[in-house]
Amino acid sequence: MTLTAYPAPVRRPETSRPRVSHAPYRQEPYVRCSLETLAVDGKAVAWTRSEVLVHWIDDDGRAHNRWVPASAVVRIPRDDSAWRDPYDDFEFYYPSRQAAGTAVR
């Protein structure tokens, strides 16, 4: 039995994909997303020029990730968010509180 392998065709997209940006892990900006049927506070975990990947956990404890138009997303302070990620880098969001609590030795 003889098997002949042929190289798989190379797929090249006709248009280039948009560049996706990410914030450092656990330092993602908080955002408020407002669409027709969706109004949530969450974190912007990734974004392009036209869309934002919003992450949040609902009242039932289910995690959600949804790409939404950037025009429907507004950055907000962590303290204004109805939902807060329990694994945030606290020092990143409150640098002055950390400095105030540091004792000089």
DSSP category for residue 30: E
**Which sequence spans correspond to the domains of the chain?**
30-100
Q: Could you tell me the CA-to-CA distances from 38 to 55, 58, 66, 96 in Å, in that order?
A: 13, 12, 11, 34
Residues 8-50 have pLDDT tens digits of 677 666 667 789 999 998 999 999 999 888 799 999 999 999 9
pTM of the full predicted structure? Answer: 0.73
For the chain, first and last CA: distance in Å?
78
